[in-house]
Amino acid sequence: MLPLAAEPTTLQVVWFILIAVLWIGYLVLEGFDYGVAMLIPFLGKTEKEKRVMVHTVGPVWDGNEVWLLTAGGAMFAAFPGWYATLFSGLYLPLFLILVGLIIRGVAFEYRSKHPDTRWRRAFDWMASIGSFVVALVFGVAFGNFVYGLPVAPAAPGSQLFVLYPSPYLFQLFVTPLGLLCGIVLPVLFLFHGSVYLALKTKGEIHDRAEKFAQQIGWVALAGGAVFLVLSNVVVHPTGLPGLLLALLAAVALGGALWMIRQGRDGAAFVGTTLTILFVAIGIFLTMWPDLGFKDAMGGAASPLNRVTAASTDFTLTIMLVAAGIFVPIVVAYQSWVYWVFRKRISVNNIPDDAAEPALAS
């Protein structure tokens, strides 16, 4: 067994940061497409308005989701112990996330394939509920990472760790931060998503999105403030850096609300993006050095941590070279695609439904 107090190598530190970057990319990008999808049944009054909403995220949502897959893959490659324990430990929550991702994914593709109102309403709800479930469960999970999930060896002397006690399910929902974050994250995504929608549309749907953002922004600000104080002052203080990040997050969130109330969609979107960025950095700060775990037996440090969970420096080096080359390339072409679709759209851009035959039974 490796000594628990082993110092992390530079590569382990770098990979922890990179994984945080990938998660932040996911939360920022899919954050708004979850928000938009959640709102489809509520903000789109006509079929064409709903289609405008789908169009704001249609070209990009799938690429956004790859940030999650890459974050998961990077955890597997760089910290196999982290991936193994977390993914098996949070078995049922992850199952819920997968179901959410499945139903929202097919909804985007299939709603357009048949011009029947009931068919489309069904897929609108699947997109909405699926996105909500994913945001809710990730919120609960991240809230609990701040406390640390209790781990113990799967068997005496085993290098494999399991959450203790197993199954670890109901415990997730009785922590104040878990519950709070489970509510705040969907609300934050609703705010982020409605601001994005306002930014990407014009006409009535734009006005409605902006109005909704002006309201949900207050809820996000109130919930976010309680979360930041609880997290950084009561549950897991990380000193000055944590407080500074909390302050920045609060300022960004307040700024976003102020900007959207001025009708400045772009500035507000920068605000909500920065909010997610600062909140996520703050949470990842609490996950260092124990990766969001703690010793189930009450020890001071988690036996599963950035050293014991990590891959060899050889593998980490190879991966770092690949990431160093390809992450910038990915960011470049994904940004370019956003630029291609930069124009605001409205119901005028949506053609009438082509007459299509009834669905073969």
Partner 1 sequence: MSAETLARWQFGITTVYHYFFVPLTIALSMLVAVLQTIWVRTGQEKYLKLTKFFGKLFLINFAMGVVTGIVQEFQFGMNWSEYSRFVGDIFGAPLALEALLAFFLESVFLGLWIFGWDKLPKHLHLASIYLAAIGTMLSSVFILAANSWMQNPVGATFNQATDRAEMTSLLAVLTNPVTLVTVPHVLLGAYMAASGFVMGVGGWHLAKLSAAAKAGELTPKQAADLDAHRFATKFGAWVLLGASVGILITGDIQGKIMTEVQPMKMAAAEALWETEQPAAFSILTIGTLDASAPIFEIKVPGVLSFLATGTFDGKVEGINDLAKAFAGGRLINPDSQLQAEAQERLKQIGVEDWVPNIPVTYWTFRLMMGLGFAAMGIAAWVLFTLRKGGLPKDTKLWNWLMIAAPLAPLFANSTGWIFTEMGRQPFLVTGVLTTASANSPGVSAFEVGTTMVLYTLIYGALAVVEVGLLRTYIKKGLPEVVEPKVLTDDDAPLTFAY
What is the edge-to-edge ordering of all strands in the sheet holding 293-295?
161-163, 149-153, 293-295
Decide if 161 contacts 296 (C-beta within 8 A): no
CB 57 → partner 1: shortest distance, Å?
Answer: 10
| Per-position DSSP letters for 107-172, written without gaps between them | HHHHGGG---HHHHHHHHHHHHHHHHHHHHHHHHHHHHHHH-EEEEESSTT-S-EEESSSS--GGG
Q: How far is the CB of 94 from partner 1 (least distance, A)?
A: 6
Please report how close the Cβ of residue 210 comes to partner 1 at its closest, in angstroms.
Answer: 19
By the rule CB under 8 A, 297 interacts with partner 1 = no
- Alpha-helix residue ranges (DSSP H) falling in the chain: 10-43, 47-57, 61-78, 80-89, 91-110, 117-147, 176-200, 204-229, 239-261, 265-286, 313-340
Q: What is the C-alpha separation between 54 and 258, in angstroms, rounded?
A: 27
For partner 1, the closer of residues 15 and 191 by Cβ is 15
Report the site for partner 1 in 307-346 (rule: CB under 8 A).
311-312, 314-315, 318-319, 322-323, 326-327, 330, 333-334, 337, 340-341, 343-344, 346
Of the residues 9, 110, 115, 255, which one makes contact with partner 1 according to CB under 8 A = 110
Rule CB under 8 A: is residue 83 a binding residue for partner 1?
A: yes
d(CA 210, CA 35): 13
Where does this chain touch partner 1 (CB under 8 A) — which range of 27-35, 94-102, 216-224, 261-269? 94-102
Q: Which is nearer to partner 1, 73 or 255 (CB)?
A: 73
Please report whether residue 2 would count as binding partner 1 according to CB under 8 A.
yes
Number of chain residues interacting with partner 1 (CB under 8 A): 86
Instruction: Please tell me whether residue 219 binds partner 1 under the rule CB under 8 A.
Output: no
- Contact between 12 and partner 1 per CB under 8 A: no
CB atoms inside a 10 Å sphere around CB 333:
9
**Using CB under 8 A, which of 156, 239, 328, 351 touches partner 1?**
351
Site for partner 1 in 37-76 (CB under 8 A): 51, 54-55, 58-63, 65-66, 69-70, 72-74, 76
**Contact with partner 1 (CB under 8 A) among 87, 234, 237, 263:** 87
Is residue 17 a contact residue for partner 1 (CB under 8 A)? no
Question: 158-187: which residues touch partner 1 (CB under 8 A)?
Answer: 159-160, 162-163, 166-167
- Contact call for residue 101 and partner 1 (CB under 8 A): yes
Check whether the bond before 167 is cis (ω within 30° of 0).
yes
CA dist., res. 178 & res. 159, Å (int): 28
Nearer to partner 1, 133 or 252 (CB): 133
Residue 83 or 258 having the CB closest to partner 1: 83
> Side chain identity at 42, as an amino acid letter?
F
Q: Which two tokens stand for residue 348?
A: 């005028």
Q: Is the dihedral of CA 41, 266, 333, 349 positive or negative?
A: positive
Task: For the CB of residue 168, give the shortest distance to partner 1 in the complex, in Å.
Answer: 8
